[in-house]
Amino acid sequence: MPVFTLPRRIYYQRDIIDNLGDILRNEKSKNVLIITDRNIMSIHGKRLESSLMNFNFKFFDDVKPEPSIESIEKAVDEINMLDIDTIIGIGGGSVLDFAKSVAIKLSHPDKDLRDVNPFEPIDLKLKLIAIPTTSGTGSDVSFGIVLTDVDRKLALGNYELVPYISILDSSLTPTNPEIIRSTGIDAFVHAFEALSANTSTIFTDALAEKAIEIIYKNLGKAMRNDEDAKDLIHLSATMAGIAFSNSGTALAHALGHSFGATFHVVHGTSVGLFLPYVIEFNSSDEYTRSKYEKVARILDTGDIIDKIKEFYDSIGQPYRVKDLNIPKNEYIKMIDELISKSLQDSELAFNPVVVGEEDLRNIYLRAYGD
Ligand SMILES: [Fe+2]
């Protein structure tokens, strides 16, 4: 059944975190659990504490990257707080995944997280609030969670895990230009993939087109820590997140996931690198090409691929593997493995053009650069 899911409310403004207490009063929350990590806690802990005066709240700040099911179960045992009505996740993708998972376990202690799937209701018993501290992942508005189960990665999802509320405050985001670039490019690719995915709709198209335009025009300024540009990038990352969460990510993610894992390149840089080749490949489909042409008109260009490469050059995002100083012989040696990992990637199912092994090989080879 076609359905479009997004948070019930999005609060947004720079420094709005200082009014978290007012937001919680507005939402009639009383007993609040805040999930975060040590890094965020050391930077923003005091600020959060002072905005939460008069609330019964507790911090849990021991979230590690790619959280394990075991660590979530342990956390739930430790939390022991009566009548939690609200869980707030403040952090990047891993923290928000952790917060979603704790919300499931506190609602249904006997539920096995491995059984979460898109088709069976979860029935959360508490309000889930997401406060993202990077501008890119879209986890504050997405239905997915990625967990580690012993040594395998589990990608699970259910639309009830789309947070009830998202709070967007760009004052929480990093000042490091490299992180701003890689996370912003991730959002840029989310928007392109949401737009071209075979599950796209007019709802997701509208959000994706606008996010592409805003990120294109503002990411360079945001990297120089222009506050207005950072506000816009933070909001457009969430717009792109709503778009891909209701549509899909596709071939650039399937290529970038295996490339990033093999050569230890961060997610946004990896998926961004392959985007120009994916646009070229997907342009063989007439309807998808017409969508790219629409974006080209928005960006005031005749050639969307040239425009993206020019944009990448202006911010230092590579579009050739050789620019990452990966030797050609090492890259070629790994191509079969890259292809087989990409073929197993579930994101491929959303690509508008069917992708075969030889297509992947061609793209991987061309992406190295001459
Ligand atoms: Fe992504």
> What pLDDT does residue 308 have?
98
Confidence of residue 129 (pLDDT cuts 50, 70, 90): very high
DSSP 353: S
Question: Ligand 1 mean position to 92 CA, how many Å?
Answer: 12
> What pLDDT does residue 1 have?
81
Is pLDDT above 90 for 361? yes
Question: Ligand 1 mean position to 241 CA, how many Å?
Answer: 9
* pTM of the entire predicted model: 0.96
Average pLDDT over every residue of 150-178: 94
CB under 8 A, 24+ apart: contacts of 75-82: 75/102, 76/102, 76/105, 76/106, 76/109, 79/33, 79/106, 81/31, 81/33, 82/31
> What pLDDT does residue 370 have?
79
Confidence of residue 53 (pLDDT cuts 50, 70, 90): confident
Which amino acid is residue 340, in one-letter code?
S
> What pLDDT does residue 57 have?
94
Question: Ligand 1 mean position to 57 CA, how many Å?
Answer: 32
Question: Ligand 1 mean position to 258 CA, how many Å?
Answer: 13
> What pLDDT does residue 316 have?
98
> What pLDDT does residue 157 have?
92
Question: Ligand 1 mean position to 187 CA, how many Å?
Answer: 7
Quick check: helix, strand or coil at residue 86? strand
> What pLDDT does residue 152 have?
85
Question: Ligand 1 mean position to 150 CA, how many Å?
Answer: 24
pLDDT tens for 272-325 read: 999 999 999 999 999 999 999 999 999 999 999 999 999 999 999 999 999 999
How many Cα atoms sit within 13 Å of 161 on the Cβ side?
29
For 220-232, b/e burial (b = at least 16 CB within 10 A) is bebbeeeeebbbb
Question: Ligand 1 mean position to 169 CA, how many Å?
Answer: 20
Question: Ligand 1 mean position to 170 CA, how many Å?
Answer: 19
pLDDT tens for 78-126 read: 987 778 999 999 999 999 999 999 999 999 999 999 999 999 999 999 9
> What domains lie within the chain, and their CATH numbers?
9-172 (3.40.50.1970), 177-368 (1.20.1090.10)
Question: Ligand 1 mean position to 201 CA, how many Å?
Answer: 19
> What pLDDT does residue 212 have?
98
The tokens for 238 are 């969430």
Question: Ligand 1 mean position to 142 CA, how many Å?
Answer: 11
Question: Ligand 1 mean position to 236 CA, how many Å?
Answer: 14
Question: Ligand 1 mean position to 308 CA, how many Å?
Answer: 17
Residue that wins the pLDDT comparison between 330 and 155: 330
Question: Ligand 1 mean position to 257 CA, how many Å?
Answer: 9
Q: In angstroms, rounded to a whole number, what is the distance separating the alpha carbons of residues 135 and 168?
A: 9
Tell me the pLDDT of the chain averaged across its residues: 96
Which residues fall within 8 angstroms of residue 306, CB to CB, at 6 or more apart?
A: none
Question: Ligand 1 mean position to 212 CA, how many Å?
Answer: 14
pLDDT tens for 185-224 read: 999 999 999 999 999 999 999 999 999 999 999 999 999 9
Question: Ligand 1 mean position to 139 CA, how many Å?
Answer: 10
Question: Ligand 1 mean position to 110 CA, how many Å?
Answer: 31
